[in-house]
Amino acid sequence: MSLTTGRGERDYADGNYVAIDAGWSDAPPRKGFFTDTSVCIGCKACEVACKEWNGVPEDGLNLLGSSYDNTGALGASTWRHVAFIEQARPMGRQDAGLAGLPVGPTATGSVNQVAANQVAANQVAAQMVAGEVSQLGTSTRAVELGMPSFELPGVRAEAGDRTDFRWLMSSDVCKHCTEAACLDVCPTGSLFRTEFGTVVVQDDICNGCGYCVPACPFGVIDRRIGEQGTKNVGIAQKCTLCYDRLGSGQTPACAQACPTESIQFGDVEELRERAATRLAALQAAGVSQARLYGEDPEDGIGGAGAMFLLLDEPEVYGLPPDPVVTTRHLAEMWHMAVAAAGTLLVGAAMSFIRGRR
Amino acid sequence: MQDLQNSDCIVIQGSNMAECHPVGFQWVMQAKARGATIIHVDPRFTRTTAVADMHVPLRAGSDIAFLGGIVNYILSNEKYFRDYVLAYTNAATMLREDFRDVDEVDGVFSGYDPETGTYDTSTWNYQGMPAQESAASGEESRSERAAGHEMGGHGASLEHGRVRRDETLTDPRCVFQVLKRHYARYTPEMVQEACGVPPEQFLKVCEAVTANSGRDRTTAWVYSVGWTHHSVGVQYIRGAAIIQLLLGNIGRPGGGIMALRGHASIQGSTDIPTLFNLLPGYLPMPKVGEHGDLRHYLATISSPDQKGFWTEADSYTVSLLKSFWGDAATADNDYCFDYLPRLTGDHGTYQTVMDMLEDTVEGYFLLGQNPAVGSAHGKMQRLAMAHLKWLVIKDLNMIESASFWKDSPEIDTGELVTKDIGTEVFFFPAASHVEKDGTFTQTQRMLQWHHKAVEPPGDCRSDLHFFFQLGRKLRERLARSTLDRDRPLLDLTWDYPVDDKGEPSADAILREINGFHLSGEKAGQPMSSFTEMKADGSTSGGCWIYTGVYADGVNQSARRKPGREQSWVAPEWGWAWPANRRTLYNRASADPDGKPWSERKAYVWWDEPAGRWTGHDVPDFPVDTAPSYRPPQGTGGPKGLAGDDPFIMQGDGKGWLYAPTGLLDGPLPAHYEPHESPVDNPFYRQQANPTRQVFRRKDNLSNPSAPEAHWEVFPFVFTTYRLTEHHTAGGMSRWLPYLSELQPEFFCEVSPELAAERGLQHGGWATVVTARTAIEARVLVTDRMVPLRVGGKTVHQIGLPYHWGVGGNALVTGDSANDLFGVTLDPNVHIQESKVASCDIRSGRRPTGPALLEYVKDYHRRAGITIYTGNDQRTPMPGVRLTRPEQDGAEGETGPRQGDPS
């Protein structure tokens, strides 16, 4: 593969126009993930395999109280994150076995609130350790860690006795957007589009400016916080779709480790077809809330390289419902700014002209 | 394991398969994708349940009631597979007139001796069998208790010649009718009384299981230690066996009972055992006074009159002795049979720990085991190790069992004082599985070779290295000895090739296990099958069931042909014992005439023109025995098997709905409550297993159980389990940051209802208390836990993962759930009841230091606990006061048995 300097001779036949647009003349088909959350068993092998392969450091030995999730969220030292969501709702035709049992109201609401507080508090605490809070504009005062809650589960009436339950699990990852804002805003060229159509940070080029962090509509990329000696502290980090493994024809570590094929790796076009087939099968099986996420090239990010089959609203999994590339209006903004500057210039000039009079 | 993908329905019960066996669980997901129904019967909604079709929450320790209910449903609704049952099981076999069932003897089977808490099992036998000696009696009970396990591989010897059958299945003394009467009381309503499962939910399971069994469809049952760690664990599995035999699901694709073993090679560690009472290949360890010479020993394994392959035990045994002692083993010296140690009693783990407390055990080797955290009654384990003179630990990390002398919970309470402990601890760093060659024998009896990927760091060495070098050094020290007692060590074949680090060749050891011809034209060549083994000293083999793993001089366990390049049975992936057979008893996959029961479930069948059994798998049957073959009266061994006797390792060739011999606690599973339970047994006056092994000691107190007084001090049920993120007692996970961060703290899981009742706060702390100790855990309140309505009261269950421990230098530590358990054992296999007990739970943290002991003593006072509490094997008649010896005089001893007024 080689980079061409111009963009004149594009061949869309193989579908990997993101790479071709980035200047790869003979790019292979675009690679990505399809994460089918309906068969995820929450084993977290993906998290561990990712950290092992990529040398990502441990980032906190904290019990979050967020069901079985003690990872919290994607970040500089978490490139795969398995979310666990306990809900008092039915899963298709699954029988949760609650009928006829002496159960009261669900605890999922109050428990989730406690857990959310803990996740947020942990992030703040971690930032405080690294002395980054003031820099990021957050309060530097000690914070209430949120645990334990002083409201007993069941005290607040949560709409009668529970009749349904389901436990959702989903392994989240960088979406490798078609329109990737992180890449757009990177001033150093550290973030780049690979020949596989993925978005990768080059550690040795990143200067830690952090522009990419607020640019990501998913909150995926982050600068690594850690004690002195930790690898790549201050550098923006995220999933590379195992660029090094792809380069030698191997499957990314997470997909390789997944025992139930919840994480599937392959050509994005084919994965889209697989996702559609699987969605149809699930809906036929009564899982009416099943939906795809990130598979649509018409969405706000031009479609994701890593798409998902979800069993509920994206918000439930901590995903934005309608992500839009934050740099979408950049050109218009520039045009507006230029126009405004022009208007000002014209106005100023006019005043001179008028002043002469 | 991968045969699960061929199932039409999978019942996972006593197992959290997705969490504890996530890789194997892919086959369940495959089955589900093909349309199978997945049912999870479990106290908790787990990651397994999350992807199942149906959750059946039940009370921990009530599984026999549930399984018995299914048996009753099958029998009373005529849902059994009649052709299969009649031909392949012992349903038609007639039982002795003097057998009495539990309903006739007030909750125990005939032959119960309340003085010893054991059975004389002779009345359980088939009609026409000679009377047997009592399985356990009087003075010999301790030694005899090991008997059940020895026979575990194959059942006791059984002469089939005089078995009488009633082909109409109507005689009141035939197994079928006995079974029907025994389970008649296990109605859906009674299932609810015992298990807390509403009848509608229970019937859904019955319907799914029966609708997915028969000629065209098969159902599989999956269990793990959620079934075995009980005082009635063996009977749980018998319960599943009865169901699967009645439904015709044994020996067929997608059927069977899948026993998921707990570790990578725990199956291997029973095949070539680390168990005290077994020799390789499930041959029993000889006993003192009973197995004087080889002839007597062999006579107790099998009778020449019985059917099947156990009649060849002489070949297996002599070949084993030749592999141990080589040229020193000759016909003249009984092939060195006298070199084998003789059992003098129970030398199981827990008995050994109690012996340590008596200072009769000087030293202890711990390899791949962390009893300070992983065994029941952690305090007893730790206190016992402080009595040792020396302790050798070989592990990947400095586990709690290696550091108990300085930082165990007992140091904190003052029960142990470091300077008073004389135990010398030797720590040897171990090589991990990627740092050495060898095999894993996994859960489906499959050996898979693993190659060394990297050199072990520093002084880390394999376990093979340790034992080989230890043996070498011992032999050097004794080289000039002329004492007879040293001959067994000096005559051992102990000459494996080693590499430059002194590592013996794992490959050479696998060859030795496979075995080879010693003489004749094939001398030196590896054997391909155990059928080549001879009893005349001309063959050597380290484990008869493994013979063939080195067939044709090729390491068959190293085969890794991808599934897509071979048949769906995938016989060229690894090697499964015996004879690379993937499904045992697969003759039963064909009908009595040798034709597949259906096209869809065809597996092994009789090829009439060729005159042989053939099919997708290696037939598990004498390959040229025609379906129509009937042996002449009195024929023993493989030729004694009729053409329709698929269960070739059973003495009568049939699957046992009813176990006439081999078990010490009953021929049929009956529901008994756990040793500690807040629930009255709804079926029988007898509360718990009347033959469970109890230890009346001041350091092993039990909670009172209903109907005993003060049971309400411990009103809750708790169970323990593993999480995907950790490995058992944590030795392989709590030292690793990538695993520790995923589950950093010990927690308890409680329902919202229990949280409200006890004021437990999500994310806060709770203290869990039993008669042994009190531990603290963070609280997870979750809808995944539910209260149950059992016996007219609400029963709350508490979930406790057992991975954490106090002390050591792990990244994450915490109180150990196993500290809550006492030691009470299943009589057949001496396994501890560590999956269920009763407890109390309080909000907040536990006291520390000596105050913890006072806190627990207060519970003892409130519950009136003595060494007798909960420890009556036979439940006393209501209102009868038993006379007890002075308690103080009984410390550290087993109290005398009290008589049973009934």
What is the ipTM, given to two decimal places?
Answer: 0.92
Model pLDDT for residues B650-669, shown as the tens digit of each residue = 889 999 999 999 999 999 99
- Higher local confidence (pLDDT), B865 or B290: B865
Q: How confident is the model at residue B855 (pLDDT cuts 50, 70, 90)?
A: very high
Q: Mean pLDDT check: name the lowest of A137-151, B579-593, B607-621.
A: A137-151
| Shared domain check, B607 and B735 | no
| Cβ neighbourhood burial of B441 (10 Å; 0-12, 13-18, 19+) | buried
| Shared domain check, B210 and B63 | yes
Place of tokens 């993937």: B582
Whether A97 and B23 lie within 8 Å, measured CB to CB: no
| pLDDT of amino acid A350 | 83
Q: Does A111 touch chain B (CB under 8 A)?
A: yes
| Shared domain check, B744 and B839 | yes
- Residue B604 in any domain: the answer is yes
| pLDDT of amino acid B704 | 97
Chains A–B, number of C-beta pairs less than 8 Å apart: 187
| pLDDT of amino acid A154 | 45
Q: Does A79 touch chain B (CB under 8 A)?
A: no
Provide the domain count of chain A: 1
If you average pLDDT over residues B337-366, what whole number do you get?
96
- Residue B884 in any domain: the answer is yes
Residues of A in contact with B741 (CB under 8 A): 58-61, 70-71
| Shared domain check, B763 and B843 | yes
Q: Are A103 and B787 in contact (CB under 8 A)?
A: yes
Q: How confident is the model at residue A356 (pLDDT cuts 50, 70, 90)?
A: low
- Residue A336 in any domain: the answer is yes
What share of chain A in percent tops pLDDT 70? 85
Give the whole-angstrom CA distance, residue B564 versus residue B560: 11
Measured between CB atoms, which of A41, A154, A169 is closest to B756? Answer: A154
Measured between CB atoms, which of B51, B53, B198 is closest to A100? Answer: B198
Residues 16-35 of A with CB under 8 A from B: none
Q: How many CB atoms lie within 10 A of CB B292?
A: 14
What domain range is A345 assigned to?
331-357
| pLDDT of amino acid A148 | 45
Q: Mean pLDDT check: name the lowest of A117-126, A129-138, B132-141.
A: B132-141
| pLDDT of amino acid B50 | 97
Whether B752 and A106 lie within 8 Å, measured CB to CB: yes
Give the whole-angstrom CA distance, residue A320 versus residue B282: 59
Per the structure block, which two tokens stand in for B323? 């592999």
Residue B878: C-alpha distances to residues A6, B194, B687, B714 (Å): 95, 20, 12, 21
pTM over 0.90: yes
| Shared domain check, B720 and B639 | no
Residue B807: C-alpha distances to residues A172, B372, B408 (Å): 35, 10, 5
User: How close, in Å, is residue B198 to chain A by CA atoms?
Assistant: 6
Interface test with A, best of B19, B49, B762 (most A CBs within 10 A): B762
| Shared domain check, B864 and B739 | yes
| pLDDT of amino acid B161 | 58
Give the whole-angstrom CA distance, residue A57 versus residue A78: 9
Interface test with B, best of A48, A59, A61, A119 (most B CBs within 10 A): A61
Tell me which residue of B418, B347, B427 sits closest to B382, measured CA to CA. B418
Q: What are phi and psi of B204, to 5 degrees?
A: -60, -40
Closest-CA residue in chain A for B755?
A153
Give the whole-angstrom CA distance, residue B144 versus residue B346: 8
What domain range is B832 assigned to?
711-890
If you average pLDDT over residues B185-193, what whole number do you get?
98
Q: How many CB atoms lie within 10 A of CB A160?
A: 9
Q: Does B877 touch chain A (CB under 8 A)?
A: no
| Shared domain check, B715 and B642 | no
Provide the domain count of chain B: 4
Give the whole-angstrom CA distance, residue B789 versus residue B331: 65
> What CATH number is attached to the domain comprising B760?
2.40.40.20
Q: Please work out, in degrees rounded to the nearest 5, the angle formed at the alpha carbon of residue A120 by the alpha carbons of A117 and A122.
A: 105
| Cβ neighbourhood burial of A116 (10 Å; 0-12, 13-18, 19+) | middle
Q: Does A247 touch chain B (CB under 8 A)?
A: no
Q: Where are the alpha helices (DSSP H) in chain A?
A: 17-21, 45-54, 108-129, 181-185, 212-215, 243-247, 253-257, 268-284, 330-356
Exposure string of B75-90, with b = 16+ CB inside 10 Å and e = fewer, is: beeebbbeebbbbbbb
- Residue A349 in any domain: the answer is yes
- β-sheet bridge partners, residue A237: A222
Q: How confident is the model at residue A226 (pLDDT cuts 50, 70, 90)?
A: confident
Residue A10: C-alpha distances to residues A15, A20, A28, A178 (Å): 11, 6, 13, 16
Question: Is it the case that residue B227 has pLDDT exceeding 50?
Answer: yes
Closest-CA residue in chain A for B723?
A43
Q: What are phi and psi of B325, to 5 degrees?
A: -120, 5
| pLDDT of amino acid A134 | 38
- Residue B198 in any domain: the answer is yes
3-state class (DSSP) for residue A19 = helix
* The dihedral formed by the CA atoms of B164, B169, B174 and B177, expressed in degrees to the nearest 10: 180
| Strand bridging mode A80-87 / A166-173 | antiparallel
If you average pLDDT over residues A105-119, what whole number do you get?
85
- Residue B115 in any domain: the answer is no
Whether A147 and B29 lie within 8 Å, measured CB to CB: no
| Strand bridging mode B747-750 / B774-781 | parallel
Please report, as a single letter, which amino acid is at residue B770.
T
- Residue A348 in any domain: the answer is yes
- β-sheet bridge partners, residue B363: B390
Q: Please work out, in degrees rounded to the nearest 5, the angle formed at the alpha carbon of residue B817 by the alpha carbons of B813 and B823.
A: 135
Residues 61-120 of B with CB under 8 A from A: none
Question: Is it the case that residue A149 has pLDDT exceeding 70?
Answer: no
Using the 3D structure, point to which of B202, B236, B259 is the last residue of a domain: B259
| Shared domain check, B478 and B364 | yes
Q: How many helices (H) and strands (E) does chain B have?
A: 26, 27
| pLDDT of amino acid B160 | 55
| pLDDT of amino acid B332 | 97
Q: Are B4 and B37 in contact (CB under 8 A)?
A: no
If you average pLDDT over residues B422-448, what whole number do you get?
96
Q: How many helices (H) and strands (E) does chain A have?
A: 9, 10
| pLDDT of amino acid B424 | 98
3-state class (DSSP) for residue B593 = coil
Whether A99 and B198 lie within 8 Å, measured CB to CB: yes
Q: Are B319 and B540 in contact (CB under 8 A)?
A: yes
Cα B149 to its chain centre, rounded Å, is 10
Question: Is it the case that residue B8 has pLDDT exceeding 70?
Answer: yes
If you average pLDDT over residues B251-260, what whole number do you get?
97
Which positions ≥6 away from B828 have C-beta within 8 Å? Answer: B148, B149, B152, B234, B663, B664, B665
Q: Are B550 and B556 in contact (CB under 8 A)?
A: yes
If you average pLDDT over residues B846-867, what whole number do you get?
98
If you average pLDDT over residues A33-41, what whole number do you get?
97
Per the structure block, which two tokens stand in for B411? 């140091």
> What CATH number is attached to the domain comprising B358?
3.40.50.740
Please report, as a single letter, which amino acid is at residue B120.
D
Tell me which residue of B383, B377, B379, B384 sits closest to B824, measured CA to CA. B377
How is chain A split among helix, strand and coil, in percent rounded to 5? 30, 15, 55
Q: How confident is the model at residue B153 (pLDDT cuts 50, 70, 90)?
A: very low
Residue B723: C-alpha distances to residues A118, A241, B751 (Å): 22, 28, 18
| pLDDT of amino acid B635 | 87
3-state class (DSSP) for residue A83 = strand
> What CATH number is attached to the domain comprising B71?
3.40.228.10
Residues of B in contact with A45 (CB under 8 A): 22
- Higher local confidence (pLDDT), A306 or A15: A306
Give the whole-angstrom CA distance, residue A309 versus residue A302: 17
Place of tokens 């790869």: A24
Give the whole-angstrom CA distance, residue A151 versus residue A284: 41
Whether B741 and A105 lie within 8 Å, measured CB to CB: no
Model pLDDT for residues B14-67, shown as the tens digit of each residue = 999 999 999 999 999 999 999 999 999 999 999 999 999 999 999 999 999 999
Q: Where are the alpha helices (DSSP H) in B389-441?
A: 400-407, 409-413
Q: Does B592 touch chain A (CB under 8 A)?
A: no
- Residue B45 in any domain: the answer is yes
Q: Are B286 and B342 in contact (CB under 8 A)?
A: yes
| Shared domain check, B874 and B747 | yes
| Shared domain check, B733 and B819 | yes
If you average pLDDT over residues A215-230, what whole number do you get?
92
- Residue A343 in any domain: the answer is yes
Residues 303-332 of A with CB under 8 A from B: none
| pLDDT of amino acid A1 | 40
Give the whole-angstrom CA distance, residue A30 versus residue A193: 11
Using the 3D structure, point to which of B595, B630, B646 is the last residue of a domain: B646
Whether A152 and B761 lie within 8 Å, measured CB to CB: yes
Q: Using H for helix, E for strand and C for coil, what is the string for B259-313? A: ECCCCCCCCHHHHCCCCCCEEHHHEECCECCCCCCHHHHHHHHCCCCCECHHHHH
| Shared domain check, B373 and B467 | yes
Q: What are phi and psi of B296, to 5 degrees?
A: -65, -40
Q: Are B821 and B376 in contact (CB under 8 A)?
A: yes
Model pLDDT for residues B303-350, shown as the tens digit of each residue = 777 888 888 999 999 999 999 999 999 999 999 999 999 999 889 999
| pLDDT of amino acid B301 | 85
Mean pLDDT of chain A: 86
Specify the DSSP class assigned to residue B431. P
Give the whole-angstrom CA distance, residue A293 versus residue A291: 7
Residues of B in contact with A98 (CB under 8 A): 786
If you average pLDDT over residues A96-107, what whole number do you get?
96
Model pLDDT for residues A339-352, shown as the tens digit of each residue = 888 888 888 888 88
Question: Is it the case that residue B897 has pLDDT exceeding 90?
Answer: no
Give the whole-angstrom CA distance, residue B386 versus residue A172: 48
Q: Does B753 touch chain A (CB under 8 A)?
A: yes
Residues 178-207 of B with CB under 8 A from A: 196, 198, 200-201, 204
